[in-house]
Amino acid sequence: MTAAYEMGRRLVVISGGGTGIGYAIADALADDDDVVIIGRRSQVLTAAAEAINERIGEPRVRPVVADLTDPKAVEYAAAEAATAHGVVDVLVNNAGGNFAPHGADDLTQLSEQYVTNYRSNVLPTVLLTHALLPHLRRGGGGRIITITSIAAFRGNASYGAAKAALHPWSAELATQLGPDGITVNVVAPGYIGDTEFYRERMTPEFHQARSRQSLIGRGGTPTDVAGVVRYLAGHGSEFVTGQVIQINGGALLGRG
């Protein structure tokens, strides 16, 4: 990677880059950049890195195994991620999901739901960002992009609340880091198939029902999200910061 860095490639760090949306982002950005993907499952990450590296014909994607809800693991992951280049150009906070059981019979279960989804979505983003802040490129070109959800605008209780918490966090960061030439934005997708997000809930009927919510007659794909992230990570988006960009095929009409 050192030689690659000398050739002018940037370093992109993607949490949850082994599957779904994160994989598509890694695959898209690895065309031009070196990429570190972080996740908890070693096998999944290694297979993802190998598949992309094979497509490109160069070892540009590197896996780092860590549970990003654990501060010590985040410290390790941040140090590992930054080693090759010393500088991180782009951070994509993508790790997360709806990990709380559906329904709650009492206040204890309700409390667990909210704590679980807050922990699973807010901590990986906030901890990894703060661990990588000293390494982020200053003076122009630095990018922080966080994946939230349509749920932050229209519901889904504990999951939507956890994702929504990242919007003011991101806005505050954009204000702080603007003078350093770092842009900070959120991408909030609607329904995206071909991910592990829905687990056992994913059936052909579920897919059709979710796809019908969009105005363009189909559900979203990880590649759709990767296209928006690629724009925000690239040249030409320098003046876009402090924004929440929704990508949902019009399922939610331009508000928020």
Q: Which region among 54-62, 79-87, 190-198, 238-246 touches ligand NAP (by CB under 6 A)?
A: 190-198
Q: Is 129 in the site for ligand NAP (CB under 6 A)?
A: no
The Cα 133–Cα 237 span in angstroms is 20
Residues with Cβ within 8 Å of residue 150, at least 6 apart in sequence: 188, 189, 190, 191, 246, 248, 251, 252
The Cα 160–Cα 149 span in angstroms is 7
Give the residue from 37, 21, 14, 16 showing the smallest Cα distance to 189. Answer: 21
Contact 183, 174 (CB under 8 A): yes
Considering only residues 64 to 123 of the shown chain, the ones binding ligand NAP according to CB under 6 A are 67-69, 94-97, 120
Q: Is 158 in the site for ligand NAP (CB under 6 A)?
A: no
User: Mask of contacts with ligand NAP, 203-242, x by CB under 6 A?
Assistant: ----------------------------------------
Contact 87, 137 (CB under 8 A): yes
Q: Which of 159, 191, 198, 231 is catalytic?
A: 159
Minimum distance from residue 247 beta carbon to ligand NAP (Å): 9
Q: How far, CA to CA in Å, does 75 sit from each of 21, 35, 117, 133?
A: 24, 18, 22, 12
Q: Is 39 in the site for ligand NAP (CB under 6 A)?
A: yes
Q: Toward ligand NAP, which CB reaches closer, 29 or 68?
A: 68
Q: How far, CA to CA in Å, does 171 sit from each of 64, 144, 238?
A: 28, 11, 16
Q: Is 44 in the site for ligand NAP (CB under 6 A)?
A: yes
Q: Is 167 in the site for ligand NAP (CB under 6 A)?
A: no
**Could you confirm whether 198 is annotated as catalytic?**
no
Residue matched to tokens 């909030």? 188
Q: Is 22 in the site for ligand NAP (CB under 6 A)?
A: yes
Active-site residue numbers?
Answer: 159
Residues forming the site for ligand NAP (CB under 6 A): 15-16, 18-22, 38-41, 44, 67-69, 94-97, 120, 124, 147, 149, 189, 191-192, 195-197
